[in-house]
Structure 1
Amino acid sequence: MTAAKSTARHKPRADHTTPARPARAVRESRQRILSAIREAATEEFSLHGLKGTSTQAIAERAGLTKPQLHYYITGKEELYNELLDSVMQAWKIEFAPPGLSDPAEILAHYIRAKLDHAFDQPRVSRIFTREILDGGHNLGRYWPNARTWVQKEVGIINGWMARGLMKPMNAHLLLMHIWAMTQHHADFALQLHHICGPLDREAVAQDLIPFILRGCGLVQD
C-alpha cells in the first residue's frame, strides 16, 4: 500500500449529519433580535429622547454588544424615525368610521380610541412629546399629512355645527383639547399615579366622554 493510498483512505469525510440552519429559524432569530432592539429603543427614547439616547444604551438594554447592534441597524436615527412613523400612523384614527353618523357617538368612539392609545402605548406617546419639547426638528416631513387628515376631521365637525347638531366652537381647538386630555394619561402617568393612584381606563372614559360631549352641547344636563 502506498503512502498516497493510505492518506486517501484515512482522509476525514465531510460531516453531513448536522444540516445547515433552516432559513426559517434564521429569520425567526433575526425577528426576535430586531424586536428586542425596538423594545430597547422605545424605552430609551421615551426616557431620554433622541439626543440623550446612545446606541450603547440601546445595545445593553437589548442584551447585545454595540457591534452586534450595528449589524442590524445603521444608527439610532434609523430606529427613532421608525418609531415616529409608528406614532403618526397610530394617531391617524378613523374619525367617523362606517356605521356611525351621530356626532355624540362619533366623538365618544374617537375619545375612547385616543384613550386606548394612551393607556396601551404610553412610551410611544412620550417619544412624540419629547420630540416636541426638543423643538420638533424631526417632524417636518409629518406636518403636511397631519394637517390634511386633521382638516378632514375639522370639516366633519364644522358640518355638524352648520346643521345645528352641536354648539358653535373652534373645531381645531376641540380636537387639541381631546388630544390633551387623553394623551395626559400617557405623558403624565407618573403624576397621575402619585396623586390619583391607579386609574381604571373605563372609569376615565366614563368621566371624560360626557364631560366633552356636554361641552359640545351633545349631552343635556
Structure 2
Amino acid sequence: MPQPTSCPPSPPGPEAPPGRPRQGRERILRAIREAAIAEFSRHGYRGASTQAIAERAGLTKPQLHYYIRSKEALYEELLQEVLNGWANAFTLDAGSNDPRTVLASYVRKKLDYALDNPGLSRIFTSEVLGGGPHLGRYWPLAVASTQEKVDLIDRWIAEGRMRPLDARMLLMQIWAMTQHYADYEAQVQVMLGLAPGEPIAREPIARQITTFVLLGCGLAPD
C-alpha cells in the first residue's frame, strides 16, 4: 500500500531525524501511516491533529513534518488509498454471463476489504458524513466506475439472467451492508456479544449478505 509522501529533498532542520538506513525510514513511514489512520478514523480530518499523529507514531511534531508535506496531504493520501483499493479490487467481469458467481465474489471482496482495512473505511465514511469536501476529484471517477457495473447488471437483466431491479441501488445496498461491519465495529461487537478486540467472524456475515443479494436478484444461492 502507498506510504505517506515525504517532503521534497531538503536539509533537515535541527530537530529532524538524522540520516537513517532505508529500512529505518520505511519503518517510520509505516508508523506515521498507522498513526494517521487511527487519528483520522477516530476524529475525522478536522478533529485530528499533527501533534496527536506525531505522538502516536513516536515522533516529535517537527520530526513528523520532516516526513510529510502537511496534514491535508497526509489525509488526502490515505483517502486516495482507500479509493484506489476499491477501484482495483472491486471490478465486475464484464465478459461474464454468470451473475451469481460475479456478485458473490464482489460481495466477498468488498467485505474482506472493509474488515481488513476498517480504519481506512471509517476515514472515507467520516469524509462523506462531513459533506465530502476532499472528494471533488473522486466523484467523476466513482460515477464512471459505477456506471460500468450498472451497465453490466442491466445487460444481465435484459438477457433474463436475473430479475429486473435498479442496478445502481443494488450496488449501494451492497456497499452499505459490507461496510457496516467496519464502520460500526463498536456496535457490531456489542450486538454479536464479542469481547473487546475479539475478531469478527466474517464467514457467516459473507454467507448471509451473499444470500440476501442473490435472492434479491432472483438467483438461487449455491
TM bucket (normalised to shorter chain) is 0.7 to 0.9
Residue segments in structure 1 that go unaligned for 5+ positions in a row = 1-22
- Partner-residue secondary structure (3-state), 2:22: helix
Residue segments in structure 2 that go unaligned for 5+ positions in a row = 1-18, 195-199
The answer on whether the counterparts of 2:90 and 2:110 sit within 8 Å (CA) in structure 1 is: no
Is structure 2 residue 144 aligned with structure 1 residue 143?
no
Q: CA deviation at 1:96?
A: 2.5
Is structure 2 residue 179 aligned with structure 1 residue 183?
yes
Structure (1 or 2) with the larger CA radius of gyration: 1
| TM-score normalised over the length of structure 1 | 0.85
Q: 2:189 aligns with which of 188, 193, 203?
A: 193
Q: CA RMSD in A?
A: 1.8
Is structure 2 residue 38 aligned with structure 1 residue 37?
no
User: What residue identity is the alignment partner of 1:49?
Assistant: G
Q: CA deviation at 1:208?
A: 1.3
Work out the CA distance in 2 between the residues paired with 1:217 and 1:200: 27
Work out the CA distance in 2 between the residues paired with 1:96 and 1:88: 16
Work out the CA distance in 2 between the residues paired with 1:187 and 1:124: 9
Count of matched residue pairs: 198
Work out the CA distance in 2 between the residues paired with 1:207 and 1:218: 14
Work out the CA distance in 2 between the residues paired with 1:150 and 1:87: 16
Indicate how the Cα distance of structure 1 residues 200 and 150 shifts in structure 2: closer, same or farther if over 3 A, else same.
same
Q: CA deviation at 1:206?
A: 1.4
Identity of aligned pairs, percent?
A: 54
1:106 is aligned to: 102
Work out the CA distance in 2 between the residues paired with 1:173 and 1:207: 19
| TM-score normalised over the length of structure 2 | 0.85
Work out the CA distance in 2 between the residues paired with 1:101 and 1:216: 14
2:11 is aligned to: none
User: What residue identity is the alignment partner of 2:35?
Assistant: A
Indicate how the Cα distance of structure 1 residues 125 and 163 shifts in structure 2: closer, same or farther if over 3 A, else same.
same
The answer on whether the counterparts of 2:107 and 2:174 sit within 8 Å (CA) in structure 1 is: yes
Q: CA deviation at 1:176?
A: 0.2
Q: Deviations over 1:106-161 (max 9, x none)?
A: 00000000110111111100000000111100000001111111100000000000
Work out the CA distance in 2 between the residues paired with 1:197 and 1:95: 34
